Amino acid sequence: MASTLKRKINEGLTQVKNTASFIVTDVTSHWSKPGKGNFVSYKEILNYSIGGMGQNMLIYLLGFMALGVTNTLFASTIGIRPMHLQNMLTVQTILNIVFQIIRGKIVDNTNTRRGRFRPYLAIMGAPLAIVSIIFIFLPFESMSYSDKYTAVFVFAIAISIGQPLYQTAYSNLGSVISPSTAERSKVLAISSLLSSFAPTIYQLFVPIFSNLTGGFTDIRTYKYIVVPIGILGVFLSFFAFFGCKERIVSSKHFVKKVSIIGGCVAVWRNKYWWLRTISTWFNFLEGAYLVLFGWIYIYGTQDMNAYGILQTVLSIASGLSMFATPFFLKWLGNKGILLFHNILNIVFISCMLACYEIPLLYFLFLWINTFINQLQLVYNPVLNAEVKDSIQWQSGKRVDYMLEVAALIGTPVTILSGYFLPFIYESYGLTVNYDVLYDPSVRNSLFYMLCALSILGAALNLAPYFLYNLSREKHSMIVLALKYRAANTDYRTGDLTPHQVKDLVESYNYMVERRDAVQPDIKEKKQEMKAAKAVYKSAKNEYEALYERIEKDTPRGEEVVKTQELLDLEEIYHRQKQAYRDAHFAYKDARKLKRDKEAIEEFIVPELEKWETPKMQVRLALAQAITAVDKKDVVATDVDFSAVALPDLTDWTAKLAARKYAKRQAALIRRGKIEAPAQTENVPADAIDADILAWADKKADRQRRSLQALIKRTALRYRIMQKLSKLFFRNGLEHDYEEAYKRELEVQCFTKEEKRAQNKRIRAAQFKYNRFASAYKLYIECEQVILDYNDRNNFFGHILGMYEDSVAEAARIDREEEEKARAEKAAKDAEIAAIKLERRIRKDAKKDAKAHGATFDEAYLEQFKTDHAADYEEPTTAVDEIADAEPKDSQAADQ
Amino acid sequence: MRTKKTLCLVITAILFLCIGATALTGCNTPLTAREAYDELMAALDLSVSGDMYGPAYDPETSATNGYIFYYKESVRTDSMIVNTNVNVHCDQDAAYNLHVDEDLMVDLYQETWSISSVTGGTGTKIGDFGFIVGPYPDADSAEERLFYTERPSDGVSATAPEYTDVTLYDDMTAEDFIASDFFRGYSLSSRLEELRNMPFEAFVFDEEVNGDYGANRQINLVKLTFGVTDEYIADYAERTGERSMFEGCTYAEIELTFGRVSNIYVYRTENLGGGFFNLPQEMYSLYISYLGPNISFPNAGGYTADPALLDRTDLAFSRATF
């Protein structure tokens, strides 16, 4: 036993040593030149990381220039009223909408020798720091409140205009530092690890040093501690500017832009987006407790050393949380993690409320709550991506950046809710003089109220998520529906890959299998599981009781001898355990099957039956009527929309009624009120309840009205299209503007002049295309409807039959790629082995020269190599090993 | 059904916000002139009840032992700004409760700035003085003493040979210092004395006279905005031979929190120019908290021996006499 442990430890140590040696060799050998297949050297990664530290440090200084009632510089030190700060923040929020657009335009049109993002790291850092420094060194002692107010407003707005340019430049640089996704992730992982040293250090030492300057309520802390950090940050961020490169790869595919209004409407129609957005509207309330930690140490204990240390400890919670999130997400599912996070928020903020007078206990709960809160850093992007897929399924539009724009709908709510906390501050005596917080009677009353409001906020934050039901099963069905759509189009364009076919057909088969599977009774399965558990427990107890009896009778030091009876019981125990596991799995699978069936019903069935719906039939008829007119003749030709007939809704209504009836029957069966009917499909109309029939008729009426409105709207849009095309294209359409724009985008340039000229041409072509796209929007949409309709049978007519060939082709491609990757890895290993050997020879040659009293130089080294060639024979390289192993692997892959 | 649920939720959320906003608006209760005056007088009494110079101070019952308060005062005239900070407080324990009989400390600092006009944004410092009185940092001598350091105010560097700093007093305890006539002039009671003696008739709360006037209660905050009659100002000058703190003011604001006076502002608005950011000019402001920050003492060696400490604005400087 001990020897095994020792062997394992030794093996582990060797592995660690080898890994460390590999890392050191890899770093030193690719310090200034990237390895094979890579683009970024380690020197560049270090430069990027140091730049990150710098960015972090300057942002720390700029953070004190951000408007908000919790800002210790503006509020506690300078003495601006919370309500006035909130007023300024409102103005800034409104102005920011304009500045956001301007900034977007500036960045989109930046194309310098130094790249697109790097220039902002260089040119924005120093001005931002200078503006902040000027502000901090203003003579506030002799300034009136009016002057202070003006100064805060002007400087804070100035900073808020420029700061995003600087802040996003660094993260954008990270996204274009390498064209390889894998390498980019590696660079970002290393750099975030290194650059996080900066905040760890300053968060620890700033509070400690602030003891010498009067703490965070004294302007000297900002003058003599925070400002130097910011200045150092400006210098460090130049490392990223000078030491990194942007490696942008232009997309070969032309992507049609989604219009702002169209994108926003698509987002606003999505229920999941609304639930998540509404939940965030209450963040202002939930976050009320966040200021308390700082206030406890600044005004309460006034112990800046402890504050610094605890802040550092607090930052560990975020890191740990990021590691833990994937496990929580897998364990709890989407809705589960949302509920888990928000319920625990309520619990831990309640704990904080109970113990805010005991700083360390308060900190403990704050730490746990921070850990819980930071889960969202990882799960939010995951859930957002799912919501985006859901929006795409619903609207057919891919919205990536539009989510943020759509969220502007909440701006009035954000502005109004922003006034709530300042109101509470003022009501508790915190008007202009933050020094009142030194008084425990004032401080504690406010703390109590803020904690209570945070609990209320967390509860309100939680409420929408009870309606959030975008489960993993639903998301996979959404993805399947999207794949189905994409495959239909790709088949037409010839872009369909064997992997795509394999993946889609397998997903489809799984869906069919789940759809056709018989739904077992979940209650029954639960009962079975409980019964199996009871049997298993009893077998376990019996076995353990007998084992203990025998163990008791066995003399000390001797092994327990298992009797036949014990062995029999053991066998029963294991059998029952397995039976319980199976029953548990069967219960879980029955539940999952139910969710799968619901998801299929919600997303796949509508997708497959899309063209049978009255709405799509009318849209198709309209599209056919419009595209019957040539694009060039649109201005002169009117379309008779009254000829577009409404489809017969009788079948649709009957189907609707039958579905509703089936649902009602299922609910009654579930409640045990009726037994399962013999006939569940094609129920005759006279068997359906009258109220359901009436409901279906009402729905049909509504549908009819909606279709009439669609025809009217299209007629109006057609007239607008005629007017716009007359306005924009007086001489008619000259050529295909989309093709022309695509052609310009694909032109390659080699010199600066060429690039400049080409950019001009692209802009001109883009302008024309945008005009065309806005005038002929309806026509383009109609063309798309026709294309989609024509593609509707590609999957069932062609793609399904391609499965066998695609599987074989995909396996061949995979094998080739694996071989390529193996060869690359082997080449890298061989390169490192050669470097190591060279170093060893050099070291030995140096020793040899020293032993013989000779001077070591290159000539001596060469001679040494020649003399000792036999001693340093090339070891069997990894390439050879791989080559040996290859046939086996290939066979395995074939199998 | 689901869409309806979502819709219900959206409507509920919006309703909640509207109701919340309405409820908060309802938290502002207007007060009549008499109610406002009574609230003010009660708050003034409570504010000075902890100050040993206050009229109702009772050493037997007072929780503050007659010492604890912290205020910042700023007086602005056409040519000068005088800022005064006074922090008299005792020690706190780990759970930041007061220990009124231990480590009594006093920090008094006053600085004077010269300005070109009442709206002048920046000024030049023309003088300052201050004291820190507290327990002597040397462990061998636990007596509480007064340190008063004098420094030439002509800008001589602390490291220059002609630089002098002199400890004038070294045998006064913090209690003695507080009991001195000099300190009496800086007590909280002295700052609130004029207000305490103002009759109801001196206040104008009537909104019809000025739209800004009025008084309201907002949970724990009572905000009084008022004007002062010319008769009172003339009478005050005649009675005391001094200018009233309200002389020349357009309106004044007093904030009472938790039944005590917390902030006083006296504003002047006429003839101050226009402009987007032009808020009323503060002629006088007094911010009171009833417990101030801890006063940090150097680890060893006192104050006079360490020139670096002279850069601290809260240390004792300059030409005070008392």
* Predicted confidence (pLDDT) per residue in A23-76, tens digit: 777 777 777 777 766 778 888 889 999 999 999 899 999 999 998 877 888 888
Provide the pLDDT for residue A677: 61
- CA A806, CA A490: separation in Å to the nearest integer? 15
* Residues of B in Cβ contact (< 8 Å) with A139: 122-123
Provide the pLDDT for residue B64: 59
Strand positions, DSSP E, A16-104: none
Q: Is the pLDDT of residue B264 over 90?
A: yes
Confidence of residue B71 (pLDDT cuts 50, 70, 90): very high
Instruction: Assess B126–A contact: CB distance below 8 Å, yes or no.
Output: no
* Residues of A in Cβ contact (< 8 Å) with B16: 460
Pick from B128, B129, B108: nearest CA to B177:
B108
Instruction: Assess B72–A contact: CB distance below 8 Å, yes or no.
Output: yes
Q: Is the pLDDT of residue B270 over 60?
A: no
**Does the distance separating the beta carbons of B281 and A433 come in below 8 Å?**
no
Provide the pLDDT for residue B321: 31
Provide the pLDDT for residue B256: 93
Q: Is the pLDDT of residue A83 over 50?
A: yes
Q: Which two tokens stand for residue A554?
A: 């066995």
In order of A164, A197, A810, B31, the CA distances from A169 in angstroms are: 8, 20, 40, 54
Q: Is the pLDDT of residue B137 over 50?
A: no
Q: What is the DSSP string of A424-454?
A: HHHHTT-SS-GGGGGSHHHHHHHHHHHHHHH
* Predicted confidence (pLDDT) per residue in A301-314, tens digit: 888 888 888 988 88
Confidence of residue B138 (pLDDT cuts 50, 70, 90): very low
**Residue B58 vs residue A836, higher pLDDT:** A836
Start-to-end CA distance of chain A, whole Å, equals 39
The most confident of A441-450, A577-586, A793-802, B313-322, by mean pLDDT: A577-586
- Comparing A5-14, A588-597, A691-700, A740-749, the range with the smallest average pLDDT is A5-14
Classify the complex by whether its ipTM is higher than 0.85, answering yes or no: no
Decide: A509 and A484 in contact? Cβ < 8 Å. no
**Residue A568 vs residue B322, higher pLDDT:** A568
SS3 A385: helix
Which residue is closest to A277 within chain B, CA to CA? Answer: B10
Query: Cβ–Cβ contacts within 10 Å for residue A885, how many?
Result: 11
Provide the pLDDT for residue B305: 28
Q: Give me the mean pLDDT over the B152-162 stretch.
A: 52
Q: Is the pLDDT of residue A822 over 60?
A: yes
Which residue is closest to A299 within chain B, CA to CA? Answer: B293
Q: φ, ψ for residue A648 (rounded to 5)? A: -75, 125
* Predicted confidence (pLDDT) per residue in A759-787, tens digit: 888 888 888 888 888 889 899 989 989 99
Q: Is the pLDDT of residue A171 over 70?
A: yes
**Residue A133 vs residue B55, higher pLDDT:** A133
Q: Is the pLDDT of residue A522 over 50?
A: yes
Q: Is the pLDDT of residue B192 over 70?
A: yes
Instruction: Assess B123–A contact: CB distance below 8 Å, yes or no.
Output: yes
Confidence of residue B219 (pLDDT cuts 50, 70, 90): confident
Tell me how far the alpha carbon of residue A805 is from its chain's centroid.
36
**Look-up of token digits 């002049």:** A753
Q: Is the pLDDT of residue A790 over 60?
A: yes
Instruction: Assess B10–A contact: CB distance below 8 Å, yes or no.
Output: yes
Chains A and B: how many Cβ contacts under 8 Å? 140
Q: Is the pLDDT of residue B16 over 70?
A: no
Decide: B131 and B182 in contact? Cβ < 8 Å. no
- CA A527, CA B104: separation in Å to the nearest integer? 73
Q: Give me the mean pLDDT over the A252-257 stretch.
A: 50
Interface subset of B 135-164, CB within 8 angstroms of A: none
Beta bridge partners of A180: none
Q: What pairing do the DSSP bridges indicate for beta strands B80-89 and B91-92?
A: unpaired
**Does the distance separating the beta carbons of B6 and A467 come in below 8 Å?**
yes
Q: Is the pLDDT of residue B258 over 80?
A: yes
Q: Work out the angle at residue A381's Cα, subtended by the Cα atoms of residues A380 and A385, and round it to the nearest 5 degrees.
A: 115
Q: Is the pLDDT of residue B155 over 60?
A: no
Confidence of residue A890 (pLDDT cuts 50, 70, 90): very low
* Predicted confidence (pLDDT) per residue in A620-666, tens digit: 999 999 999 988 888 888 888 888 888 888 888 888 888 888 888 87
Instruction: Assess B23–A contact: CB distance below 8 Å, yes or no.
Output: no
* Residues of B in Cβ contact (< 8 Å) with A150: 277
* Residues of A in Cβ contact (< 8 Å) with B289: 433, 435-439, 442
Provide the pLDDT for residue A510: 92
Q: Is the pLDDT of residue A4 over 90?
A: no
Interface subset of B 78-107, CB within 8 angstroms of A: 81, 83, 92, 94-98
Start-to-end CA distance of chain B, whole Å, equals 82
- Comparing A97-101, A247-251, A548-552, the range with the smallest average pLDDT is A247-251
Provide the pLDDT for residue A418: 84
Decide: B118 and B272 in contact? Cβ < 8 Å. yes
Provide the pLDDT for residue B10: 61
Instruction: Assess B299–A contact: CB distance below 8 Å, yes or no.
Output: no
Decide: A391 and A399 in contact? Cβ < 8 Å. yes
CATH topology of domain A35-248: Growth Hormone; Chain: A; (1.20.1250)
Cα of B117 to nearest chain A Cα, Å: 12
- Comparing A334-343, A810-819, A847-856, B126-135, the range with the smallest average pLDDT is B126-135
Q: Give me the mean pLDDT over the A467-486 stretch.
A: 88
- CA A780, CA A786: separation in Å to the nearest integer? 10
Confidence of residue A887 (pLDDT cuts 50, 70, 90): very low
Pick from A616, A621, A683, A619: nearest CA to A656:
A683
Provide the pLDDT for residue A250: 44
**Does the distance separating the beta carbons of B27 and A428 come in below 8 Å?**
no
Provide the pLDDT for residue A252: 39
* Residues of B in Cβ contact (< 8 Å) with A153: 277
- CA A27, CA A33: separation in Å to the nearest integer? 10
pTM: 0.74
Q: Is the pLDDT of residue A79 over 70?
A: yes
Q: What is the mean pLDDT of chain A?
A: 84
Spatial CB neighbours of B298, under 8 Å, sequence gap ≥ 6: B137, B306, B309
* Predicted confidence (pLDDT) per residue in B292-307, tens digit: 777 654 333 233 323 3
Provide the pLDDT for residue A892: 43
Helix A522-553 / helix A564-599 crossing angle, nearest 10 deg? 160
**Which DSSP letter does residue A112 get?**
B
Query: Cβ–Cβ contacts within 10 Å for residue A460, how many?
Result: 20
Confidence of residue A700 (pLDDT cuts 50, 70, 90): very high
CATH topology of domain A275-470: Growth Hormone; Chain: A; (1.20.1250)
**Does the distance separating the beta carbons of A442 and B122 come in below 8 Å?**
no
